[in-house]
Structure 1
Amino acid sequence: MLCKKCNILFEVDGEVLCSLCTGYYHYKCSGIQESTYKRMTTEKKASWRCLPCRQSDNNDTLAELVKEIRSLKTQIKTIQDGLNKANTGISSIETKFIAIDDRLDDLDARLTLTENNVERIQSLATNFEDLKSELKLHQKNDFERNQFLRMNNIEISGVPQKHGENLLSILNCISITIGFQLQETDVDTIHRVRRFITSVDSRKDADPRHPAIIVRFSQRRRKDALIAAARGRRHITTADAGLPGPCTPIYINEHLTTRNKLLLKKARDFKNQNNFKYLWVKQCKIFIRKDDKSKIYLVSEDTDFAKIR
């Protein structure tokens, strides 16, 4: 079954049914919110009509009304011609008909203006949808561009921050622990970045975790090699790496944008709620899979969860 507006096949049964043209629509194509439609009674759903059908009815009604008014004007003109030939005793009646004619002219003009406004509203609605699609495309391109700039980066979490610390030395200790041979030419830049706080409390002490270490590699293949080595040696701690201070877990991950970190958290919640077996990040892209035999899904935006089965 296809959506009558976008001609895309429904993955499930049609969502909204027009009672006039019997076409099925996605909620986003129908112009009605899903929550609003689901709150409607059975009778209202059975009489619901899509926007084209409603506009068609309005246009037909306006056209018929204008046609009837113009026909009425013609009849009044004929009557006026007959009255002009009558005696002067009916002059007052003629005056009244003239006044009616003026009012009908005004009504005709107002109806014509209404027709023009309806056409303008339809055009504005189309332009608005086009602008929404264009904005969404620009946002998506901007998200992808921001993530692409981090493709050579890794993010190391869990290492306590010390005054006067040597981040390269820390990175080298971690590399030795996971079996990765760090070369002098590998690192372009290395620095700490304060974590993004999702809580409504935006004070500096709201997140007790230490700032993450961001490492930008000169070559992406070397970054990928370190990530692979880290996945082969999970659950390492600061004690394993010979770092001073309390023993804390160390996490080594792709450097995701704030948007993709939030998306990964939603994907993790989705995985747990729906008993999915696999969730992973590769080349800064989020993937999810139900089990060993099921399809692998790429999660790039919130709406992707509705497509996952």
Structure 2
Amino acid sequence: MLTLHPNSNQDVVDQSLPVNFQDFIKSEFHDMKQDLTSISKDITSLRQELQDIRIAMGFINDEHNKINEKIAKMESKFKAFDALVTTVEHLRTVNEKLEADCNAKDQWARRSNIEICGIPEKKGENLLRITEEIAKKAGFDLKMTEIDFVTRVSSTNKVNKPKPIVVRLQSRYRKDDFLACLRKLKVICQDLGFAKNESRIYFNDHLTKFNKMLLQRAKVLAKERTYKYVWVRNCTIMVRQNDTSPVIHIANVDDLKKIK
């Protein structure tokens, strides 16, 4: 029979048992001790792993909170950015409208003007006499009292090109009639006393810088898309694909998209 001594940590085997059985019991107890020791180590290791997991989870939670804070800050910045984009778009729209209004007013102020291009500049030139001579050649009865002013203006053309002459009439309707006659006139500089100068002289509505840009872009697009007509009437740019197609009015950049 197996008994344990109350004051001893060692196992006591009943000496009355057979020796082989005693050895077996001792071996079993030894194995049990080893198993318990191993289990104790595993438990200790498991506790350590759980502690490490707790620490890692705490770190993860801290990082998660930091990420959430960063996301919250980014969302706040994105909202501010969206608000800024909205404001910029609004300001862009307002600016475009203001530019369009300024251009319209500037063009309206030029409604009685005729721009004459190609006449060479000459020291001491008399632009009134030149205008009178042109009117005679066009067969237009123009009285000098109908002229508000006549002057040369700056141009975006190359330096070697003469500055255009702008003639402003008192009446827009007389200006339209005069320009209609001038557009039928085929005249070169030699016809106005500039010897051996066969450069052509052109007569147009006095367009704003913006509308001149629109006109040039319209001409380029019309040529690319085989449109037949591009012209200006009463300071309005018009495009037409052929004799039967509808007229397209070009008043702004977006209108250029109509030239398809």
RMSD (Å) for aligned C-alpha atoms: 2.7
**What's the offset of the Cα at 1:253?**
0.9
Is contact 2:225-2:259 (8 Å) kept? Answer: no
Q: 1:176 aligns with which of 111, 136, 140?
A: 136
Is contact 1:156-1:251 (8 Å) kept? Answer: yes
SS at the partner of 1:287? strand
> What residue is the counterpart of 2:208 in the other structure?
257
Q: Deviations over 1:57-112 (max 9, x none)?
A: xxxxxxxxxxxxxxxxxxxxxxxxxxxxxxxx99x779846666555444443333
Q: 2:166 aligns with which of 178, 192, 214?
A: 214
> What residue is the counterpart of 1:288 in the other structure?
239
> What residue is the counterpart of 1:151 in the other structure?
111
Q: Which runs of 5+ in 1 are unaligned?
A: 1-88, 198-205
* In 1: Cα distance, 2:130 partner to 2:159 partner: 22
**What's the offset of the Cα at 1:267?**
2.0
Higher normalized contact order (CA 8 Å, seq sep 6+, divided by chain length): 2
Structure 2 CA distance for partners of 1:162 and 1:100, relative to 1, 3 Å:
closer
* In 2: Cα distance, 1:238 partner to 1:166 partner: 15
SS at the partner of 1:160? coil
> What residue is the counterpart of 1:86 in the other structure?
none
**What's the offset of the Cα at 1:255?**
0.8
Query: Which shifted more, 129-138 or 289-298?
Result: 129-138
> What residue is the counterpart of 1:245 in the other structure?
195
> What residue is the counterpart of 1:298 in the other structure?
249
Q: 1:139 aligns with which of 75, 88, 99?
A: 99
* In 2: Cα distance, 1:118 partner to 1:247 partner: 66
* In 2: Cα distance, 1:115 partner to 1:239 partner: 73
Structure 2 CA distance for partners of 1:295 and 1:111, relative to 1, 3 Å:
same
**What's the offset of the Cα at 1:279?**
1.3
* In 1: Cα distance, 2:113 partner to 2:246 partner: 29
1:114 partner letter: M
* In 2: Cα distance, 1:173 partner to 1:283 partner: 24
SS at the partner of 2:80? helix
Alignment of 1:2-41 (within 5 A): none
* In 2: Cα distance, 1:272 partner to 1:105 partner: 63
How many residue pairs get aligned? The number is 211
1:178 partner letter: A
Structure 2 CA distance for partners of 1:113 and 1:149, relative to 1, 3 Å:
same
Structure 2 CA distance for partners of 1:114 and 1:195, relative to 1, 3 Å:
closer
> What residue is the counterpart of 1:276 in the other structure?
227
1:181 partner letter: D
**What's the offset of the Cα at 1:244?**
4.3
Share of identical aligned residues, percent? 30
* In 1: Cα distance, 2:213 partner to 2:74 partner: 47
**What's the offset of the Cα at 1:128?**
2.4
Q: Which runs of 5+ in 2 are unaligned?
A: 1-46
**What's the offset of the Cα at 1:179?**
1.3
**What's the offset of the Cα at 1:269?**
2.3
SS at the partner of 2:144? coil
